[in-house]
Amino acid sequence: MSRIDYQGVLDEIIDEVQSEFGKGHVASYIPALKRVPPRKFGMAAVTVDGDVFSVGDAFEAFSIQSISKVFTLSMALNAKGVALWQRVGREPSGDPFNSLVQLEHERGVPRNPFINAGALVITDCLVASTVNARRQIIDFIRRRSGNAGLCYDVEVARSEKTHGHLNAAMAYFLKSHDNLNSDVEAVLDVYFHQCAIAMSCVDLARGFLYLANGGDCPLSGVSVHERSRAKRINALMMTCGLYDSVGSFAFRVGMPAKSGVGGGIVGVIPRVLSVAVWSPELDPSGNSHVGTKALELFTTKTGMSVF
């Protein structure tokens, strides 16, 4: 098999996605995100051997939002093990990521850890099992990405809190069903901050390498997960990582991935690489419109997917 020219592929992609701008909308329900220039675009691929390829705004930090849920799930699984699945499910939601109706129908047990209700349960596990959950989360992500300078965007966190009424409603609903053990406001504070972590495409691609590398983090030399657990997190990304359009993403792109309403998407090709893209304009499901197209082009041009 000939060596793939990843840099050449990324250079082609940035040219080919130009016609896709203007077809989505920047997230408006979080004011701090609404101000992000809509035509930003960055993309980075990092191989398990550490080679980095990038294009556009790949080194510019942005709000990772729900992409953080993969990192906190990893931490919670290490803390709680399989007992975690007694409190949150592993099935696609088929509904918007912030649906309160689904949570009510299922009596306080979220469908999966990547919708907001499920992520609140995961955050509760971390608040209950660590002395300083905010510090533990940012330290974990710094180690995975190899960037010790990563930090929370205070403005975004404040904006999340000020306008996070639906998330607060979910948290109190979970509490009413005994599926939130810590103080609700403490859980919300950590949750709003984890969503407000600022990372670049290069940071994110490096940060997801442990999931492309069977649970071993190439940057730190640490085994984050045994191979079977890394496989299962990848499976959850494939089935639940793109909100209620996960089937369409799997059909078009064909890789485990997680998106965030900041416009980022990170995917992995097991044993090969991780790839991250950022473009703030979102489709109706809350996924980056241009980013999805870019990843579709990436798997098509490289001939790599999990299928």
Residues annotated as catalytic are 66, 69, 191, 243, 261
Angle at 62 between CA 159 and CA 291, to 5 degrees: 115
167 closest CA partner among 104, 97, 236:
97
Would you say 167 and 187 are in contact if contact means Cβ atoms under 8 Å apart? Answer: no
SS3 of residue 47 by DSSP: strand
The angle that helices 165-176 and 116-129 make with each other, rounded to 10 degrees, is 70
- State CA 249 to chain mean position distance: 14
Handedness of CA 5, 63, 100, 185 (dihedral sign): positive
Handedness of CA 231, 236, 242, 245 (dihedral sign): positive
DSSP structure string for 80-127: HGGGGGGTS--S---S-TT-HHHHHHTTT--S-TTSHHHHHHHHHHHH
Whole-angstrom distance, CA of residue 124 vs CA of residue 268 = 27
